[in-house]
Amino acid sequence: MEERKSKLEALRYHLAEGATQASKGDFVDNFSMDSLINALDAES
């Protein structure tokens, strides 16, 4: 349960970071959800 909560917190952080970047017009080329999920899995 704690691991899932930690992953959700990390996802929320990354989503907020992305929203801030997007509002500035900063976009990442070659973005994929699979890459994000793999990176989050690697953090835990």
What are the distances in angstroms from CA 40 to CA 8, 17, 23?
A: 10, 14, 23
pLDDT value, residue 1: 79
Task: Tell me the C-alpha distance between 6 and 40, whole Å.
Answer: 10
pLDDT tens readout for residues 2-24: 888 888 998 899 899 989 998 99
pLDDT at 31 over 90: no
pLDDT value, residue 44: 64
- What's the one-letter identity of residue 38? N
* Residue 14 or residue 1, greater confidence: 14
Residue bearing tokens 């970071």: 17
pTM of the model: 0.56
